Structure 1
Amino acid sequence: MRIALFFLVEGVAALVIGFAALFVSFDPVWSAELPQQAVLRPSDARSGSLLFKTDDGYRDALRLGVDVDLTVSGPTVRARVTQIFRNPTKDWVEATYVYPLPAGGAVDTLKMVVGDRVVVGGIKERQQARAIYEQAKQNGQKAALTEQERPNIFTNSVANIGPGETVLVQIEYQEPVQQNGSEFSLRVPMVVGPRYNPRPVVQSVDLRADGNGWGTTDPVPDRDRISSEVLDPAQNAPVNPTNVTVHLNAGFPLGEVKSHFHQVRIESPDSTTRIVKLAEGPVPADRDFELTWKPAAEKAPSVGLFREHVGNSDYLLAFVTPPSVEQAQQKPLPREVIFVIDNSGSMGGTSIIQAKASLTYALGRLQPTDRFNVIRFDDTMDTLFPAPVAANSANIGNATAFVSALQARGGTEMVPAMRAALSDTNHDDANYVRQVVFLTDGAIGNEQQLFETISALRGRSRVFMVGIGSAPNTYLMTRAAELGRGTFTHIGSVEQVDERMRGLFARLENPAVTNLSAKFSEATADLTPSALPDVYRDEPLVLAAKLDKLTGSVEIKGRIGDRPWSVTLPLANAAEGKGLSKLWARRKIADAEVARTTRQESPEDADKTILALALEHQLVTRLTSLVAVDKTPSRPEGEPLKLSELPLNLPAGWDFAKLFGERPSLPAVPGERRADGGDGKVQLAALKRSPVATQAPGTIQLPKTATDAELKMIAGVILLTVSLLLLVFNRRQTSPQ
């Protein structure tokens, strides 16, 4: 009897344990599966180090430090970026690192320092450069390769870094100084934010002569080239410490010099020169570095003309700021403004606060004669009103409440939102000026799709891009604004909202300088941009030209509102400049890329132009790369080579959980619709929000935030089976013989 009772109790206990195994919540398994996303740090880990878990414990990972040295000479910036790769492991390592540079930078120099040897790289066609690098890697030689993935995203690969070795890779680039009214600026991007890459589109295609098949069109064919592992700042110390030094020689007496996102120490050798350094030494590479300066006088020079002689040609760079003209006597035309706000996961943290504050400010600037609408998007999309409505207090109140309720979540399907914003149902109404104000961090990989959408659907609209956050995609912003005949404004902190939005509305509310042209009196000029853009209030017109001779003058003409405007500049007055030939070539390459996007040139013709310019001026482009090879083999034959893909910090202010793990619930938004990202049709969504589009293989490895439910189910089934067997056995033992 006691034995029977024992088996009965044991069977019931096993049954309870089996059911409990189905419901008890264990720790998520992704931390063990993806140690590089959530690095476990033993108590003796050094601050700032990165450790990888191995079968026998932990080991050091390759470390990277960056030193950025910038020299401003009047209108241009010469930058030298030194990447220091340290290998504290016992392995021979190949390091790869994705890093950002300014979208307008002309990258022209690569040096690799190995011990006391300096190896200078050269420009080759991209496939040839890659072949040279791979052969050197196989031969055990140290080699470095710099490739462009986007005009603002580059990859450095360094082969055969030996145990305990340090290898320095140095690149240099040239870029123009930016000007807005009386303020001059430079920006150093320091981190590549995670990109949202839409899924490949599966479509029916004719693959065989006797029938149809299935094929895919990938909007981001190089998704694996622009995606890097991102560290969770809650579980990892910052990596990739970066130092920045600026030698500022403005060419005029300086007033205020300011760093907006970093604490700096400023030295003043004389009235026109400043030396700017980070106040506390190297900082984590998690936000852009921005420096602005103003002249001591009230107004900056309205005209700047610079020249450089290279080979048999003269190169000219001109900055011309048209005068600000008040509105004409007649009443200005009212505006139809379509506001678009990105509330995707990458906008989590401080970015969504900045975006909502900016849009709320913009709504308050509308006039009663204006009309407007608001579109919000993540991987779904919603338009507040069926059509643009009058900017009265009731409608603005509804819009403000709508914006205030937004939260950041989900993916970034930007193309359908831009398509909806450019859908102009009132295109025959000439009584309104139509403007699109697009607020986003631009964290997508399918930029080309967005550019093609703007080019095809722009119509009479003008697109004004507002970049939000600590590391916006400036390439997307500037190119989208160029194609949309608008401007790009960056807001990097909540404190900048009022100032930057005031500047934007000064452009929106005042007439642009249109119908611009430039004519040289004597010289034959190859001018860029080939089609001069409209220029808005306080913005300079920036021209670069290649001349056969530096004689005569250039006349620039246009219209400000309904008034003609012109200025004539004698070329003999041009001051000496540096690196102007590189800037001209880089801008010509950008012209060819735009012509390719707008189908003004065939892809083949545009690529021929780009390749010829890149090889002649020794620049890194989509079609060319820099490669450097040390002739002396260093890795012993037979020693294996391990790949080390260096991780990146999460951009400052971004919310890791919003991006990689959380699916927060949001208040219901009336009339919500799903953005398909495919053929452009907008369909009604289900009652619940659709999930983020699944990333295709090769993109950023996202942490798995689900629990190990499948393992629990299996364990529960096993225990239930055992408990049932025990119950059957118990019944047999207690049943009458």
Structure 2
Amino acid sequence: MPTPSSCPGFPPEPPRPVSLSPLFLALLAVLVMLGSARAQPAPASGGLLLRGLEASRPVEAPLLATDIGVDVSGPTARAVVTQAFRNTTDAWVEGTYVYPLPEDAAVDAMTLVVGDRVILANIRERAAAKRVYEAAKAAGHAAALTEQERPNVFTNTVANIGPGETVLVRITYQQAIPVSGAIRALRLPLVVAPRYHPAPPAVGFAAIGTGADRVPDRARISPPVLDPSRSAPLNPVAVTVRLEAGFAIGAVRSATHPIRVEETGPQGRRITLAEGVVPADRDFELTWEPAPSRTPGLGLFREEVGGRTYLLATLNPPEAEAAASARPARDVTFVIDNSGSMAGASMRQAKAGLLAGLARLSLRDRFNVIRFDDTWDALFPEPAAATPEALRAAESFVAALEARGGTEMLAPLRAALADAHPEETRRVRQVVFLTDGAVGDEERIFAAIHEQLGRSRLFMVGIGAAPNGHLMRHAAEIGRGSFTEIRNLDQVGERTRALYAKLEAPAATDLAAVFTAGDAEVTPNPLPDLYRGEPMVLTARLAQAAGTVTVSGRLDGKRWSRTLPLAEAVAGKGIAKVWARARISETETARITGRLSPEAADARILGLALEHGLTTRLTSLVAVDATPRRPAGTPLAAADLPLNLPAGWDFAKVFGDGPRDRTAGPPRDRTAGPPRERHAGPAPILAAARSLDLPRTGAGVLPQFWLGLALAMLGQVLRRLAARRPRCAR
């Protein structure tokens, strides 16, 4: 079977071939072994079966393995995600897999490999791509469809996988590398966390304003989820990162997974997972920083595409450290999510992060604490002075929190942003929001922030193994704050210190970038405020790379500026796609906040997507094999492939602990903590809807898996030994 690295028909990007890891090839051998093994008796309950009107009888879902290869080149990364779908049955099947990607991923290519055939995908308007796929499926052709459900949630649907067959789907994307201080970070989401959806009108209440369902696509982002108490993890993942930083590299770390780091030069590293393959149950995070005294203060990169110049600039504004006595008094509202998805480790992380914030308050500050599940409570009727007594009451309030219920985020968000004294400009107003963001109605949240922000600044703190990065980053952007992730208790101290230092230090404001060539299309526009340790990052499209760009702003009441000659920009990769993806995101924000009409926004997004070949809300990638494969009249079964529950989540807290179709009611009242008013929200609707498939591994699968993996690895060793022997002349 050809692989994407060896097929001449694949697109030339990335610049060098990206090979599949040996462990991933071993996983494919295991999938083939499981497919050829005699079927085990079906479990009495909890097995995931394929659905579909054409299916004559239920059969088991396909198996899945994933290989991710990432090439980091200075400020950008090019990633290749290869998904192997293995049909272990004697039926023809269609598999659907919902999977995450970074929220800023510019997805621009997809390839389908079936046997020795390699099929390249085309970008089309979403409805047209769907029609092409459905026609190919009905005619028996092998086909694959990649669709965006959210900027960080995608769906791959693969039709006509033959009995005992393995097909590969390879997705590629480009993204920018986030920078905070001296630290660069790469985050690879590996699991879509179950989302809470506000109840649709048919089951309890009319959505605010229109009476329409605020999450009309809830079924598309609610795939079946494994109960870890009943099933072993599925969907193993291998990760390889080839890092060329562009500067001498110091420490390379991962707070989420044990890693192996190989030095490939002063500026290069090769990073793999120490365990080889891992379950897709938590996001992978990799950070690196320059060697001591090698921190670059400026990065200016350019790429020429289609006769135009695309520029990416990273600049660290001068820092100003205000004395404690000079810092303005603050009103800080902490909002903590105690819904069911926060149970366990996430709740402990959120509590620790909030308590760290309380400890930084001074007597000049005022504060409040709001907690929410599908109801919400405020500790005080209005912000209170940060006296020792008030802080002790807050600590007791936080200690008594338990995770339960749904995630009704809108009402507590509005309560936190409500400003009773907008004229009080001498006090800085800040909202710190701690949550995993596991909701499906993101656009409603964004619109509320835009409508009610006023003089407040919103700082989002993502909690747990798989926070909703799209919600967090976009909310912080609209809220003119910043986004921080806390993935385990070990990170709480370091990351909360950095966060609360931002809240206390002056921000760089009134930022602007002026090009001597006046036709520059700059994003973001306008440039956001910057907080301590944050660089200014912008992309731009120019007719030519000539002249200069002058960046200016105000910091601690003083003006500053810096002029950069564009001729000094060095060659970069993928900058055009990074610019286009950022421009699309900016246009979506303009649509949500009403600055652009839906029609105008859609026209701009569609034009950008088709010009740059990107998957968006309005465009999809579709690949169809020209040769029919499934015999006419042969039934086709369909299945949604299951996801693992994110690591640290409590299945019963999210989905309920009764029958599988049970919907949990509102959480019981708590009596701990100071007296407070309760604010009721609508009855929760669980993220996986009312009917939930709970897949279980068949009897004997795990021993077969480990035996197969051992044999596959032994085969790799023997192959390498044989390759070293001199060949005999004939």
Match of 2:376 in 1: 381
Match of 1:511 in 2: 506
Structure 1: 5+ residue runs without aligned partners?
Answer: 1-41, 206-213, 678-691, 704-737
SS for the counterpart of 2:380 is: coil
Match of 2:629 among 615, 629, 634: 634
Q: 1:432 Cα shift?
A: 0.7
Match of 2:120 in 1: 120
Match of 1:321 among 316, 324, 328: 316
The answer to whether 1:701 aligns with 2:692 is: yes
With 667-676 and 542-551 compared, the bigger mean Cα shift is at 667-676
SS for the counterpart of 2:119 is: strand
| In structure 2, C-alpha distance between the alignment counterparts of 1:610 and 1:275, rounded to whole Å | 36
**Residues 218-257 of structure 1: pairs in structure 2 closer than 5 A:** 218-257=213-252
The answer to whether 1:422 aligns with 2:425 is: no
Q: Deviations over 1:629-648 (max 9, x none)?
A: 00010000010000011000
Structure 1 length normalisation: TM-score? 0.84
Q: 1:694 Cα shift?
A: 3.3
Match of 1:673 among 663, 671, 678: 678
SS for the counterpart of 1:217 is: coil
| In structure 1, C-alpha distance between the alignment counterparts of 2:643 and 2:555, rounded to whole Å | 46
Match of 2:82 in 1: 82
Match of 2:705 in 1: none
Match of 2:287 in 1: 292
| In structure 1, C-alpha distance between the alignment counterparts of 2:497 and 2:42, rounded to whole Å | 46
Cα pair distance change 1:254/1:599, threshold 3 Å: same
Match of 1:714 in 2: none
Structure 2: 5+ residue runs without aligned partners?
Answer: 1-37, 658-663, 695-730
Match of 1:159 in 2: 159
| Counterpart residue type for residue 364 of structure 1 | A
Q: 1:452 Cα shift?
A: 0.6
Match of 1:361 among 348, 356, 360: 356
| In structure 1, C-alpha distance between the alignment counterparts of 2:539 and 2:680, rounded to whole Å | 41
| In structure 2, C-alpha distance between the alignment counterparts of 1:335 and 1:315, rounded to whole Å | 41
| Counterpart residue type for residue 366 of structure 1 | L
Cα pair distance change 1:626/1:90, threshold 3 Å: same
**Residues 512-551 of structure 1: pairs in structure 2 closer than 5 A:** 512-522=507-517, 524-551=519-546
| Counterpart residue type for residue 131 of structure 1 | R
Q: Is the Cα–Cα contact under 8 Å of residues 513 and 536 in structure 1 kept in the other structure?
A: yes
Match of 2:303 among 308, 321, 336: 308
| In structure 2, C-alpha distance between the alignment counterparts of 1:702 and 1:215, rounded to whole Å | 32
Cα pair distance change 1:181/1:163, threshold 3 Å: same
| Counterpart residue type for residue 176 of structure 1 | A
Q: 1:699 Cα shift?
A: 6.8
| Counterpart residue type for residue 62 of structure 2 | L
| Counterpart residue type for residue 701 of structure 1 | L
| In structure 2, C-alpha distance between the alignment counterparts of 1:240 and 1:541, rounded to whole Å | 38
| Counterpart residue type for residue 150 of structure 1 | R
Q: 1:260 Cα shift?
A: 1.1
Structure 2 length normalisation: TM-score? 0.84
| In structure 2, C-alpha distance between the alignment counterparts of 1:117 and 1:187, rounded to whole Å | 32
Cα pair distance change 1:497/1:377, threshold 3 Å: same
Cα pair distance change 1:699/1:303, threshold 3 Å: farther
| In structure 1, C-alpha distance between the alignment counterparts of 2:163 and 2:406, rounded to whole Å | 41
Match of 2:585 in 1: 590
Match of 1:104 in 2: 104
Q: 1:668 Cα shift?
A: 1.6
Cα pair distance change 1:109/1:696, threshold 3 Å: closer
SS for the counterpart of 2:326 is: coil
**Residues 392-431 of structure 1: pairs in structure 2 closer than 5 A:** 392-431=387-426
Q: Is the Cα–Cα contact under 8 Å of residues 228 and 700 in structure 1 kept in the other structure?
A: no
Match of 2:568 among 560, 564, 573: 573
SS for the counterpart of 1:127 is: helix
Q: 1:414 Cα shift?
A: 0.2
Q: Deviations over 1:545-571 (max 9, x none)?
A: 000111111000001121111111110
SS for the counterpart of 1:397 is: helix
Match of 1:480 in 2: 475
Q: 1:672 Cα shift?
A: 3.9
| In structure 2, C-alpha distance between the alignment counterparts of 1:349 and 1:204, rounded to whole Å | 30
Match of 1:686 in 2: none
| In structure 2, C-alpha distance between the alignment counterparts of 1:474 and 1:261, rounded to whole Å | 16
Number of residue pairs aligned between Structure 1 and Structure 2? 639
Match of 1:449 in 2: 444
Match of 2:431 in 1: 436
| In structure 1, C-alpha distance between the alignment counterparts of 2:68 and 2:422, rounded to whole Å | 48
SS for the counterpart of 1:367 is: coil
| In structure 1, C-alpha distance between the alignment counterparts of 2:560 and 2:49, rounded to whole Å | 67
With 654-663 and 264-273 compared, the bigger mean Cα shift is at 654-663
Larger radius of gyration: 1
| In structure 2, C-alpha distance between the alignment counterparts of 1:645 and 1:409, rounded to whole Å | 27
Cα pair distance change 1:269/1:299, threshold 3 Å: closer
Match of 2:497 among 494, 502, 510: 502
Q: Deviations over 1:665-713 (max 9, x none)?
A: 5632533423436xxxxxxxxxxxxxx423599677388xxxxxxxxxx
Cα pair distance change 1:634/1:58, threshold 3 Å: closer
Q: Is the Cα–Cα contact under 8 Å of residues 459 and 483 in structure 2 kept in the other structure?
A: yes
Q: 1:160 Cα shift?
A: 0.3
**Residues 162-201 of structure 1: pairs in structure 2 closer than 5 A:** 162-201=162-201
Match of 1:273 in 2: 268
Q: 1:204 Cα shift?
A: 14
Cα pair distance change 1:538/1:299, threshold 3 Å: farther
Q: Is the Cα–Cα contact under 8 Å of residues 229 and 700 in structure 1 kept in the other structure?
A: no
| In structure 1, C-alpha distance between the alignment counterparts of 2:204 and 2:256, rounded to whole Å | 50
Q: 1:45 Cα shift?
A: 8.4
| In structure 1, C-alpha distance between the alignment counterparts of 2:654 and 2:678, rounded to whole Å | 22
Q: Is the Cα–Cα contact under 8 Å of residues 106 and 619 in structure 1 kept in the other structure?
A: yes
Q: Deviations over 1:379-400 (max 9, x none)?
A: 0100000110000100000000
Q: Deviations over 1:504-542 (max 9, x none)?
A: 011100011100001012352111112110011111111
Cα pair distance change 1:223/1:46, threshold 3 Å: closer
Match of 1:260 among 255, 258, 264: 255
Match of 2:32 in 1: none
SS for the counterpart of 2:367 is: strand
Q: Is the Cα–Cα contact under 8 Å of residues 412 and 444 in structure 1 kept in the other structure?
A: yes
| In structure 2, C-alpha distance between the alignment counterparts of 1:286 and 1:538, rounded to whole Å | 31
Identical-pair percentage: 54
SS for the counterpart of 1:667 is: coil
Match of 2:344 in 1: 349
The answer to whether 1:390 aligns with 2:381 is: no
Q: Is the Cα–Cα contact under 8 Å of residues 413 and 675 in structure 1 kept in the other structure?
A: no
Q: Deviations over 1:456-502 (max 9, x none)?
A: 00010000000000000000000000010000000000010010000
| In structure 1, C-alpha distance between the alignment counterparts of 2:248 and 2:425, rounded to whole Å | 46
Match of 2:645 in 1: 650
The answer to whether 1:553 aligns with 2:555 is: no
Cα pair distance change 1:45/1:305, threshold 3 Å: farther
Q: 1:61 Cα shift?
A: 2.8
Q: Is the Cα–Cα contact under 8 Å of residues 310 and 579 in structure 2 kept in the other structure?
A: yes
